[in-house]
Amino acid sequence: MIPFLDLRAIYQQDAEAYDAAYRRVMDSGRWILGPELAAFEAEFAAFCGTPHAVGVGNGLDALTLSLQVAGIGAGDEVLVPAHTFIATWLAVQQSGATPVPVEPAGGSFNVDAEGLAAAITPRTRAVMPVHLYGEPADPAAIAALCAQRGLLLIEDAAQAHGALHDGRPAGSFGALAGFSFYPGKNLGAFGDAGAVVTRDPALAQALRERRNYGSLARYQHASVGVNSRLDELQAAWLRIRLQKLPAHNQRRREIAAFYQQRLADLPGIETPQVAAGNEPVWHLYVLRCARRDALQAALAAEGIETLIHYPKPVYRFPPFAAMAPATRSLSDQICDEVLSLPIGPHLSDGQVEQVVEAVRRVAEALR
């Protein structure tokens, strides 16, 4: 069996370092808002090319708190991709604003500046593009659009740690960018964690206050806050994962390049297109196939585990059904056709070769 993901293998590859970090934190007696978090925040900010990073409890909170400190709320509209993980929309919902869906650009899984521009109304205050599957979503053009129209750009970079557009890191284009360190992400904790990066020191300060009960000094509450902190153990482990991230992302790029080369010619299968200027980090490697369900079943029979990201556009789920278009959308079609192959540092060359051989056999059989 070739597993889609193997988080135990990620731990075991560097178990000594993670265990030593565990001992260090346990012996320190500090669990919350201590030196490990401060060090991780500095290291992650540098990695993203932004002056500030603020650790929070998870990726959803990173996005929600970003909207809140930017003053987005009731009565405001925020443009979001129809085709994304539901957290993007839930963050907007939790801020009190209204998510407004935008369809992917033709030939892409991502929204682009043109599609977003067409969805702007007098109530639009912010744009929250997602660098889906680890590929930047037209960030330079979207940043220019936002500057021109007076909109706030908040990147959902939860799948794009280290992805580049014109050599610039995902997360460095917006006023704010939210990252998730959910275990399965390219940079994953061993539990829940997230962060916001920003160039703006005032927004960074507001985030530090908001994540900790509106407080920067003990029992001094300057504003309304929540409890959403990135704890010391996760921060210590994330510092190690961050050191490994360039090599892990490089391995993903190698595997993706191999898939791109070896699967490009197959009947009935479309390999992902990478937009100009982009260096994705391949959080997911996603094929399109009109006979997706048959492809997935046949690959399972060959011992290849695959997943579907995502089975439906967000507006087809009950909480947002009122926003669903009456007719079949581009996102509906994409969701019916996508299939994610195993990718990640847990895979050997031999396993990647096995995936390719299986996909080739199955595609020929299905033609």
Ligand X SMILES: *Cc1c(COP(=O)(O)O)cnc(C)c1O
Which positions touch ligand X (CB under 6 A)? 58-60, 84-85, 87-88, 130, 156, 158-159, 180, 182, 192, 194
Query: Closest separation between CB of residue 137 and ligand X, Å?
Result: 11
Query: Closest separation between CB of residue 290 and ligand X, Å?
Result: 25
Query: Closest separation between CB of residue 35 and ligand X, Å?
Result: 23
Query: Closest separation between CB of residue 277 and ligand X, Å?
Result: 21
Determine if the peptide bond prior to 213 is cis (ω within 30°).
Answer: no
Query: Closest separation between CB of residue 234 and ligand X, Å?
Result: 11
**Which residue's CB is nearer to ligand X, number 21 or number 130?**
130
Cα distance between residue 329 and residue 107, in whole Å: 14
259 phi, psi to nearest 5 deg: -60, -45
Cα distance between residue 99 and residue 111, in whole Å: 14
**Which residue's CB is nearer to ligand X, number 249 or number 263?**
249
Residue among 99, 65, 280 at smallest CA distance from 179:
65
102 phi, psi to nearest 5 deg: -125, 135
Would you tell me how many other CB atoms lie within 10 Å of the CB of residue 269? 23
Contact between 271 and 106 under an 8 Å Cβ cutoff? The reply is no
Closest residue by beta carbon to ligand X:
59
Contact between 167 and 280 under an 8 Å Cβ cutoff? The reply is no
**Which residue's CB is nearer to ligand X, number 44 or number 85?**
85
**Which residue's CB is nearer to ligand X, number 99 or number 194?**
194
Query: Closest separation between CB of residue 184 and ligand X, Å?
Result: 8
**Which residue's CB is nearer to ligand X, number 80 or number 359?**
80
**Which residue's CB is nearer to ligand X, number 174 or number 194?**
194
Q: Given strand 164-165, what is the order of strands in its sheet?
A: 168-169, 164-165, 278-279
